[in-house]
Amino acid sequence: MRDHRDSSYIVLKSEFMKYFLMIVLLTLTPDHELLAQSQRGDLIRIMVSPSRANMVYRTGEEIIFEIAIYKFGHLLDNASIEYRIGPEKMDASKKEKLILKEGKITVSAGSMREPGFLTCQVSIEENGETYMNSGTAAIDPEKIKPTAELPDDFQQFWKNNLDALAQVPVDAEMTFMPEKCTSLTNVYHVKVRNIQGFIYGILTMPKTSGKYPAILHVPGAGVRSYQGDVSDRAVITLTIGIHGIPVNLYDSDLYDDLRSGLLDGYWVSNLDNRDKYYYRRVYLGCVRAVDFLYSLPEFDGENIGVMGGSQEAPSLSLRPDLTHVLII
């Protein structure tokens, strides 16, 4: 078994891209409530989704979208809609206005000759308000190839950073949070040393002694506190923040102040300097969070996964020892 700290096992971008695309598709299986490509609302709800349960087609196959319009939970008769279909993030190649007599319809989107994603965007106006939603089909997603080339020193850059991180002790501090514990789960606020500063998070662990799998929860963009995954399951979880500040200041104005002040636009901070770019520390912090989970005696040493928001996805390529991944 490879040492989880061995920084030489960096996944090539082309390999990771295929891995990442398959991860995205896993989030769209019927087993997940997140699969419903729909807009939630009390007045109007638009549901639009590829007709196939897994939303995956092959090149040359006809792609069908199912569209339904609901008002107060019921199909809206004679709904007047406009739909636009085209490759994701590109101009529509097909658009049409329709009256849905029974509030629903199936629409042929044709086919695609190349691997990629095809999106159907639906809009409807009701009482002066415009409601919109979209659904997306994947076409041979495992065959999509990266369009950007790696810099010549890409692998060496991250190897050097991982080697530098390995020289920094984890030096974790765990603060018990009795007010958040349950009869089955202990909860801690965690502070772990990063390449610069610290990574903070909320750790949950089963009270029953034993060895358990672990899940790292990474956040989407933003500045906020975190509650942790207190679900009383037989698993260790760690929910981290990325900004190097405590994540348990629930009654503090700190997060709002930072969001509108020092951390406003943090995602482009030092974008032109790879050694000082904001996300260099963030990605290495995600790696360090996995190091911390490995250090826990309650961890089973084998089964570890990560789930969460979009911004930390690239860090997954730095941890080939992850066994389960879910990107939302």
Considering the domain architecture, whether residues 87 and 182 belong to the same structural domain is answered as no
Verify that 96 and 216 share a domain, yes or no. Answer: no
> Nearest-CA neighbor of 304 among 231, 220, 237?
237
Q: Quick one: 185 and 312 in the same domain?
A: yes
Q: Is the pLDDT of residue 255 over 50?
A: yes
Integer CA distances (angstroms), 73 to 68, 82, 87, 130, 249, in order: 11, 21, 30, 18, 39
pLDDT tens digits for range 137-181: 999 999 998 888 889 999 999 999 999 999 999 999 999 999 999
Kindly report, residue by residue over 236-251, the tens digit of the pLDDT. 999 999 999 999 999 9
Of 127, 143, 159, the one marking the end of a domain is: 143
Q: Is 138 found in the same domain as 155?
A: no
Tell whether 277 and 158 lie within a shared domain. yes
For residue 259, the enclosing domain spans 151-327
Nearest by Cα to 26 from 47, 52, 55: 55
Q: Tokens 């890409």 map to which residue?
A: 154
| Residue 11 reports pLDDT greater than 80 | no
Is the pLDDT assigned to residue 23 strictly greater than 50?
no
Residues 98 and 215 in one domain: no
Confidence of residue 3 (pLDDT cuts 50, 70, 90): very low
Question: What local confidence, expressed as pLDDT, does residue 128 receive?
Answer: 87
Domain count within the chain:
2
Q: What is the CATH number of the domain that holds 214?
A: 3.40.50.1820
Those residues with Cβ within 8 angstroms of residue 259's Cβ, 6 or more apart along the chain or in another chain:
222, 223
Q: Taking the model in full, what pTM does it have?
A: 0.69
Match 């501090």 to its residue by tokens.
173
